[in-house]
Amino acid sequence: AQSVAQPEDQVNVAEGNPLTVKCTYSVSGNPYLFWYVQYPNRGLQFLLKYITGDNLVKGSYGFEAEFNKSQTSFHLKKPSALVSDSALYFCAVRASGSARQLTFGSGTQLTVLP
Amino acid sequence: ETGVTQTPRHLVMGMTNKKSLKCEQHLGHNAMYWYKQSAKKPLELMFVYSLEERVENNSVPSRFSPECPNSSHLFLHLHTLQPEDSALYLCASSQVLPGAANPGYEQYFGPGTRLTVT
């Protein structure tokens, strides 16, 4: 079975400061990892993914994520937060042997304070 | 816009009503999904259709009935729902290669239907 943990329900950060949203995973075999963002009254929007290769993945809106196999983590980061980054962030994982099932975490609400 | 539309955006229904949710994707994808999103819970995958054939049904109660008439349209028919079924219902689509040759594919989501069962 595969699972995703987002240990923080809420993350607050001041505008201009770096932000980190944490994600750890459990999966058999090689993981495919994803970050999605959800703005109020909207569906989930794809941010970035890790498939293979470089452990640092760059995505939309200046976000990046670092894959750490030994710590089974895939934390989302941004060097300088914007108020407009305030949203609900979801981490998700798919095992390499699965064509369809994507397991999501419970989400982390990011609030960037002006 | 992600290329996936859902109607209606909001729905209030009584427990004895019958209603349907509609999803349409304009991306040329071959797989479509229904998810349930409840507050502070992980997204729950309900149904998966690949090439218009239902390939996954995650123990969803029979009061939810999906229909996929073609690769661009997906419906969720609702009847005799319970108050605990109130949630945001999300539709998604993706392009899946035969034999799971591209497990790194991402899904594209619609804006959701906010359902309230009274």
| Whole-number pLDDT of residue A52 | 85
| Whole-number pLDDT of residue A14 | 98
Q: Which of A40-54, A80-94, B31-45, B87-101 has the highest mean pLDDT?
A: A80-94
Q: Which of A18-22, A38-42, B2-6, B98-102 has the highest mean pLDDT?
A: A18-22
What integer best gives the mean pLDDT of chain B? Answer: 89
Separation in Å, CA of B93 to nearest CA in chain A:
11
Dump the DSSP string for B33-84. Answer: EEEEE-TTS--EEEEEEETTEEEEE-S--TTEEEEEEETTEEEEEEES--GG
Separation in Å, CA of B27 to nearest CA in chain A:
15
B4 has pLDDT over 80: yes
What integer best gives the mean pLDDT of chain A? Answer: 92
A82 has pLDDT over 90: yes
Interface residues from chain B to A (CB-CB < 8 Å):
2, 4, 6, 31, 40-43, 45, 48, 50, 55-56, 90, 92, 96, 99-100, 103-104, 106-112
| Whole-number pLDDT of residue B105 | 82
| Whole-number pLDDT of residue A89 | 97
A97 has pLDDT over 70: no
Nearest to B25 by CA among B63, B69, B64: B69
| Contact partners, residue B22, CB within 8 Å, separation at least 6 | B6, B7, B73, B74, B75
B74 has pLDDT over 80: yes
Dump the DSSP string for A16-51. Answer: TS-EEE--EEE-SSSEEEEEEEE-TTS-EEEEEEE-
SS3 A60: helix
Distance linking the first and last C-alpha atoms of chain B: 31
- φ/ψ region of A82 (left if φ > 0, alpha if ψ in -120 to 50, else beta) reads beta
Cis peptide before B8 (omega within 30 of 0): yes
Dump the DSSP string for A62-109. Answer: G-EEEEETTTTEEEEEESS--GGG-EEEEEEEEETT-SS--EE---EE
| Whole-number pLDDT of residue A100 | 59
Instruction: Return the bridge partners of B45, or none.
Output: B35
